[in-house]
Amino acid sequence: MSKPANYGTVRAEGLSVFFAVLDYIAVIIAEIAAFGLQNLLTSDEYRIGGTYLFLWVPLIFLIFLYSTRAYTHMQPVIIIVRDVCHSVGYGIVTCLVILYLFQNALTGGRLYVLLFAVLVLFDILVLRLGARYILKRRHMLEEPVVFVGAGVTAERVIDYFERDIGYRYRVLGFFDDNPKSDMLMKHYPLLGKVEDAADEIAKMGIDTVIITAPGMNKDNLGRLIASIQPHVRFIDYVPDLIGTPMSSITVDTLFSEKIMLMKLHNNLAGRRNRLEKRLFDLVCSVLGGILILPIIIVTAILIKLDSPGPVFYNAARIGRGGREFTCFKFRSMFVNGDDMLEDYFKEHPAARHDWAKYAKIKGRDPRVTRVGRFIRRTSIDELPQVWNVIIGDMSIVGPRPYLPREKERIGGSLSTITLTPPGITGYWQTCGRADTTFEERIAMDKWYVRNWSIWLDLLYLAKTFSAVVDSKGAY
């Protein structure tokens, strides 16, 4: 029986052409717009040769973008943004060198270079992410895949794929001897047992198989991969390393010994990375502080009018290296809040359990003022912490700022969490906020510190706005 046409490969090649055309258009638009703006802002007339405009400059950017596998692989949106930024940076430098060597092809200035750099990055990201969003929403140009393993791991992987616009997979079904997930079985067909996978996959003509069985025996996994590999282009599998810091891993292959050696990097131990994070914090806090200044002034006036007491609530928090610092927040509670809390527990004993578990009171907290409820729901109460960021006590993105009395409860995780300053926002704020237990917050903060990158900070900063708009988990 002949192998069926591989429609997955045809679709992938068509998608590569589609995104390459989008990137080409983005570069052309950026070039023309940069020259138009420069001619508008200056008295001189600038131009660029047609060959450079429509061929060489776009080609340079397409080469760098292709080298990141941007046209051939589905990736998380954070990786897409990172790779586009790197590719655009390399493209700009290369163009500058070429234009310097061939000055007769261009009459321009520094303003053009600055405008073009900003516009080409903006245009490529907008067109790329916009197109991916539309394709995702309309279920267009999806790649068919099958899973081996139908348990909790598969649920988590599919949930991530559904939420991230970088992935457009159409799940055809699962192979599993004993499916653990009722939810998956309600939405997707069971295609057979694991031993049937290779024969059935050979008939499908698909490119990608995803193995989500981290508990599978090593020998069984090896045989499964060997039986499937001749029939597909890609095999993705989840190793038994869930929870291990993976974002900074590099892999060396010891060929003669058939051993894979994984190196875990502590990103926050590097001086350059700490400097990069500090510069990110300073730029965001200074620029953001200027923008939010009117909000801070109005909020301060409302707090004074709403209830007696100071505008700010200054409390000790655990900072980098375990040292304590003064954390600034807008006051959102009555000044006799502790006494009110004890009275509330006497009237509502069940609330003490929530307090012990979440360190929050679900529902209406009697200590919170009218203005306090609003500024908490919108996270405006945390805006004064921008000053903590400027002076270096906090970061824009980081672990939760814990209370000194929580040191014992944090336990041995404290040394990991305090490798970096606490953040105004972070993993737990954007992925659960007050809906998470104390132990879950600790696990989230440890994961963040171990997997830190500037791109992770950008991702959580973007997610913060969504969480605030939804008022998710804010009490």
Name all domains of the chain by residue range, CATH numbers in brackets: 7-137 (no CATH), 143-242 (3.40.50.720), 269-333+368-470 (no CATH)
Element (H, E) at 115: helix 110-137
Question: Using CA of residue 339, residue 340, residue 346, residue 352, what is the dihedral sign?
Answer: negative
pLDDT score at 106: 52
pLDDT score at 459: 85
pLDDT single digits (tens) 379-436: 899 999 999 999 999 999 999 999 999 998 999 899 989 999 999 998 877 775 556 7
- Residues 263 and 246: their CA atoms lie apart, in Å, by 10
Lowest mean pLDDT among 307-311, 323-327, 351-355: 351-355
Q: What percent of the chain has pLDDT over 70?
A: 86
Confidence of residue 54 (pLDDT cuts 50, 70, 90): confident
- Residues 367 and 380: their CA atoms lie apart, in Å, by 17
Q: Are strands 169-175 and 143-148 parallel, antiparallel or unpaired?
A: parallel
Kindly state the tokens that stand for 405.
């009395």
Grouping H, G, I as helix, E, B as strand and the rest as coil, residue 348 is coil
- Mean pLDDT, the chain, rounded, equals 85
One-letter-per-residue 3-state SS of 300-320: HHHHHHHCCCCCEEEEEEECH
pLDDT score at 342: 77
Confidence of residue 305 (pLDDT cuts 50, 70, 90): very high
Confidence of residue 268 (pLDDT cuts 50, 70, 90): confident
pLDDT single digits (tens) 172-209: 999 999 998 889 999 999 999 999 999 999 999 898 99
Lowest mean pLDDT among 3-17, 30-44, 190-204, 270-284: 3-17
pLDDT score at 302: 95
